Amino acid sequence: MKEFAYKKSLGQNFLKDKSVINKIIDSADITVDSLILEIGPGSGALTKELVKTKGKVVAFEIDERLKEELSKIESNNLEVIYGDFLKIDLKEVLNKYNYKKLHLIANLPYYITTPIIMKIINETKIDEMIIMVQKEVGSRFKAKPNTKEYNSLSVFLQYYFDIKTVTIVNKNSFVPKPKVDSIVVRFSKKYNKIKANNEKVFFKLVKDSFTFKRKNLKNNLKGYDLNKINIILNKFNKDLTFRAESLSLEEFIEISNNI
């Protein structure tokens, strides 16, 4: 693509490393019944390979200047929708397709990474997400307890998905070169997950527990029945002086199921 004026405000760092694209495609579990959503196809580096898989592809691009380049991709398996993905009526789009497995495969615009993931989780029954994100952000998604990256979003995402690193991507793999390195992470849906009896209560408990990172559970959970919570914590050899970062997903579920 010649002389394109990249817009930093739209997170336009296009991938030029073919080996990264191959790793993304290889890590995906695509079948003939797959529908693949791509957010931000850009000039189509990843899109061109996605349309060669067995699945159908729907790509959402906000920047209409990319229309000319994207329209060069010849495939009956591709629909490109121009507009802001966050404002798209996703249910309406998905209703047009017959599929059994839904995937998000994308090199995301980093400035809206979390809103995109939340929209996908809230508005679809996503099976698999393979996404390129900023390296630090990816580390938080898959962080384990007792690490500085572990936060309420880690617990929320790991409730729904197993999250693994596909590959770390150096900033030199993009044009223009961004300031930070990137990571490709794969989220696969936990079909037999341990369920919280009441997900609203569970998510609120997790969020409240992490309100002030340096404070312990006793201070962050002031409005709760602390005696009850302490009894449950004791089962795990813990108590209210522990911080949220030391609790596992299973421990948060156990507490939320008993308060």
Contacts with ligand SAM by CB under 6 A lie at 10-15, 39-42, 45-46, 60-63, 84-86, 107, 109, 112
Separation between Cα atoms, residue 6 and residue 3, nearest integer Å = 9
Element at 36 (helix H, strand E)? strand 34-39
Given a contact cutoff of 8 angstroms between Cβ atoms, the answer to whether 110 and 40 are in contact is: no
Kindly write down the DSSP assignment for every residue of 63-87, as one continuous string.
-GGGHHHHTT---TTEEEEES-GGG
Which is nearer to ligand SAM, 45 or 206 (by Cβ)? 45
CB of 166 to ligand SAM, least distance (A): 14
Number of residues that make up the chain: 259
CB of 101 to ligand SAM, least distance (A): 21
Closest to ligand SAM by CB, 8 or 148:
8
Smallest distance, ligand SAM to C-beta of residue 106, A: 6
Tell me the residue nearest to ligand SAM as measured from the CB: 40
Q: Which of 35/244 has CB closer to ligand SAM?
A: 35
- Is 134 in contact with 182 (CB distance < 8 Å)? yes
First and final CA of the chain: distance in angstroms?
58
Smaller CB separation from ligand SAM, 13 or 158:
13
The pair of three-digit structure tokens given for residue 69, joined into one six-digit string: 């380049």
Alpha-carbon gap, residue 219 to 12, rounded angstroms: 42
Say how many CA atoms lie within 13 Å of 134 toward its Cβ. Answer: 13
Nearer to ligand SAM, 53 or 154 (CB): 53
Nearest approach in angstroms of CB 109 to ligand SAM is: 3
On whether the CB atoms of residues 143 and 150 are closer than 8 A, the answer is yes
Q: Which is nearer to ligand SAM, 19 or 241 (CB)?
A: 19
DSSP state of 223: T
Residue 88, Cβ density class (10 Å: 0-12 exposed, 13-18 middle, ≥19 buried)? middle
- What contacts 31, CB < 8 A, 6 or more positions away? 54, 55, 100, 101
Closest approach of Cβ 128 to ligand SAM, in Å?
Answer: 17
30 or 201, CB closer to ligand SAM?
30
Q: How far is the CB of 39 from ligand SAM (least distance, A)?
A: 5
Nearest approach in angstroms of CB 217 to ligand SAM is 37
What three-state secondary structure class fits 14? strand
